[in-house]
Every structure is written in structure tokens, then in C-alpha cells.
Structure 1
Amino acid sequence: MRVAPLSSFLLLSSLLLAPLAHAGDNITVLNLSTNAQRELANDQLNATLYVQERQAQAAQLADKLNRAINRARADATAYPQVRFSSGGYNSWPDYDKNGKIQAWQGRAEIKLESADFARSAELIAQLQKYLLLDGVQFSVSDSMRKQTEQALIPQAISALQQQAAAAGKALGKTQQNVRELSIGESQPGMPPMMLRAKAMAAEAAPAVTVPDWQPGKSMIQLNVNGRIELQ
């Protein structure tokens, strides 16, 4: 879906007339709340993959987990467009019905972040030969979110002033004096797209088909609240 131009941003405004909050007989105080929204294509991917093992000895478990993570790190070096980082790393005892340790279990994660969806998909498909995919999340990057917020600020403030002008016209007051103004950070109007994979036993695979993901879009919203005096 094509992103609408700035002039057609949806502006939702609510107007509250403060009950007789006068600094003088000729002043009426308005509390205004306005928000501006814009839909953006998701431009960032975050993925979590993991390995989970069960071994008789704790050292054997650690060795299995470490080998898998080291292999993933080595494979990721061929994809410089994708940022690789370590995730959670846990191990715990597996008790029998008598309360004795019969084995050890563990889980180790890696995290991927990138704006290159094609190369990320290739790397994830390669890693899925020996790792499990916990989830893939598509979202708007911080840089794009901040850039959009800067564009929405004047639009939202203009809407705030228009609301004040409309109220002033109805009350026969033409002068505005902004006493307070608060601008909220951009927030997504809907949760980012998340793909999750069910846990299953990891098995070596000769090949994994590269996924053809559709990252979707997210709604960015900016809230502006103001206290305006009308005369």
C-alpha cells in the first residue's frame, strides 16, 4: 500500500474546555490533545535462533552448545550486512522421579539484525540446518522513526493551533497564547510483524529453502498536548 503524503496524515484531535480556569475575566484556557500518524514500510529485521541440547554430563552439554554457536558465528562472517550477537545462554539439571540428576539440558541463542532482508534470509536458511528459529521481527528502524517524528511535529502542532482557532471562533476569541506544550515520542500504532517457529528436534539438513518474507508496515504515531489561552 502506498504511503500517503504528509498532507493527508490522519490527525485525531480531542478538545477539552477547562472549566472556568481564568487568569482574568477575558481569558479562557483550553487543554488540547492531538496526534499525527504515518504508515511506514518496515526496514529492519531482528531474528533469534537457538540450539537446545540434552547430555549426560554438563561438560558434554557445554561443548555441544559452544560448537553450535561458534559454527553460527563463523557462518555469519560471510554476511557482513547482518549484525551478529550472542543471546541467552542457560543450562539446568534434568531430575529423575527420585530427585537425582539424570542429565543436563541447555539452550544458547544468537541474534541477528539487518536492513538487508535478502541476505538475512539466506543466512537464516543456512543456520537452520543446525539451529532452530525462535522468531523473526520486522520493524521500523530508529533512524527512520526519528526522521518521521521530525516531520510529524509541525503537522501535529499546526493541528493543535487549528483546534484552538476553531474553539476561539466559537467563543468569539481570536488571540492564542500557548502556555504549555508537550510532545510525545513516536510510537507504533500496531505491533511489529513477528514470525515464530515451533520448537522441534534439531536435525542436520542438506539444504533449507530461503524464505520469501514480506516485512509489512508499521504505524508511527506522535502525540502533542498543549495548554492554550484564548482572549
Structure 2
Amino acid sequence: MKRFRPLLHTLPLLALLVALPAPAAPGSGTSIDLAAEASRPAANDLARATVFAEAAGATPSELAKRVNGLIADGLKTARGYSNVRTQSGATYTYPVYAKGGKIESWRMRSDLTLECSDPAALSELLGKLQASLGVASLSMLPAPETRKKAENEATLEAITAFKARARLIADALGKPYRIKHLAINSSGRTPPLPMLRAASLASAEAAAMPIEAGETLVTASVAGQIELPE
């Protein structure tokens, strides 16, 4: 019997350890994924356009003289508008092959980007440039500070909507809640404006290009997770 005595002495301690409740796991509770969004309009107060000169010829040097001359004239006209910012764009020169693989001619294109916070001024300038240059693209968008203001307002509204939805769910279940994490994103899209080449508008001469600024809807979305304690 003596040799079993140490084991008997440990039994009360083992029974006590088994009887103790296991500590609750940290963060235990019901997790619920939620999402909310809000939108705010932002005025399209910035106009951006790309114009180009394009020509075909027998030699690259011949093309460079013609195309560079057209771009230089366009820059000279644009400098008459102090509120229009200009920037040289890409230039491409590439061969045109005949059926036998021989080069039969060359083509060259050079771009010029125009940007202005006065759509009326850019409209007038484009009307003049279309006598010799094509318009590759025209877009209306909010200026950075305008977009930022609308984005901040939409973000606050989206967060408020997220909290209201979280409170609605928590109240329905009769429990408090806490926010575990949030992810905030924003986006905005403006429909593209269709463009016509200068060749089809030559008869318009210096008529201003019609521009309707409109608005861009800036949307902020909030996605996250809340936890309801057990």
C-alpha cells in the first residue's frame, strides 16, 4: 500500500484542475461582415484634350518636316491662351509595307496634350486647332481639389451608414457591438465624349467645339466586420 500513497495524494489536485472552467478565448463572439456606400457629385471643372498631327509620305524626313510644323503651329496658337497648359505627347514614325514586304511609304503621328480649368477657353482653342489637327480625346473631370472635397464628404456619409447598419443589427440581436476592421475605397467615373477627326470638321473652321462639363459621381464604399460578444 505504501507505494501507491504518492499517487493518491495527487488525485485531489487533478480533480481541482479538471473542475476549473477553461478561460474564454480572446475576441470570442459572433463576427458579421458589413458594407455601405455613399455618393457625392463633383463638378467637372477641368478639361483635358489630346490633339494630334498625322501624315504619310515617302521618307521619314519629309514627314517630320510636315508633322513638326503642324505641331509647332498648334503650340503657337495654344500659347495665346494663358490659362491653357500644354505638354508634348508621344510621337510615332512607322513604315507601311507593300504585299511583298517592301516599304512603300511612311506614316508619322505626334500628340499634344492640352489642359484647362476653363472649358470655354479650351473649347474655343480646339475650334481653331481643328483646322489642321485632329482631336484624339476630350475628357471632363473634377480638378484634384474638387474631387477630394466630394470624396471626403462621401467617405463620412459611408462611415455613418456603416455605423447605422451595425447598430441596427446589434439592436435586433440585443447585443452591443465593436468594429474589428474597416476598408475604405472611392471611385468616380465620367462618360467619355465621342470625338471626330479634323478632316470631317474642316468646314467648321474656327467654330468652338461644344463642351458640356457635367458632373462626376464620386462614390465611397466602406466594408468591414463587427463583432457581437457572446
Which residue of structure 2 lines up, in the alignment, with residue 146 of structure 1? Answer: 148
- Determine the structure 2 residue equivalent to 1:221: 219
| 1:56 maps to 2:58 | yes
For 1:66-105, what aligned pairs fall within 5 Å after superposition? 66-105=68-107
| 2:179 matches 1:178 | yes
In the alignment, which residue of structure 1 is the partner of 2:194? Answer: 195
CA distance in 1, matches of 2:158, 2:61: 59
| Cα distance in 2 for residues equivalent to 1:98 and 1:182 | 59
The Cα shift of 1:107 comes to 0.8
Gaps of at least 5 residues in structure 1 are 1-21
Bigger Cα displacement from structure 2, 86-95 vs 114-123: 86-95
Matched residue pairs, number?
205
Give 3-state SS (helix, strand or coil) of 2:208's partner.
coil
TM score, norm. by length of structure 1? 0.81
Which structure has greater helix proportion?
Answer: 2
Shift in alpha-carbon separation, 1:199–1:75, aligned structure 2, 3 A: closer
Once the two structures are superposed, residues 190-221 of structure 1 have per-residue CA deviations (whole angstroms, 9 ceiling, x without a partner) of 44342311474896x69321123212222110
- Three-state SS of the structure 2 residue aligned to 1:70 is helix
Query: Normalising by structure 2, what TM-score?
Result: 0.81
Q: Aligned partners of 1:109 and 1:195: how far apart in 2?
A: 18
**Alignment partners' CA distance in 2, 1:36 and 1:87:** 37
Match of 1:37 among 18, 36, 39: 39
1:202–1:154 distance in 2 versus 1, CA, 3 Å: closer
Q: CA RMSD in A?
A: 2.2
For the 8 Å contact 2:43–2:146, the answer to whether it is kept is no
Residue identity in the other structure for 1:218 = T
Q: Secondary structure at the match of 1:68?
A: helix
Give the secondary-structure state (helix, strand or coil) at the position aligned to 2:31.
strand
- CA deviation string 1:156-209 (max 9, x = no partner): 111111111110111111x2211111111x211x44342311474896x69321
Residue 207 of structure 2 is aligned to residue 209 of structure 1: yes
Aligned match of 1:16: none
Contact 2:41-2:150 at 8 Å conserved across structures: no
Does 2:128 correspond to 1:126? yes
Letter in 2 for 1:217: E
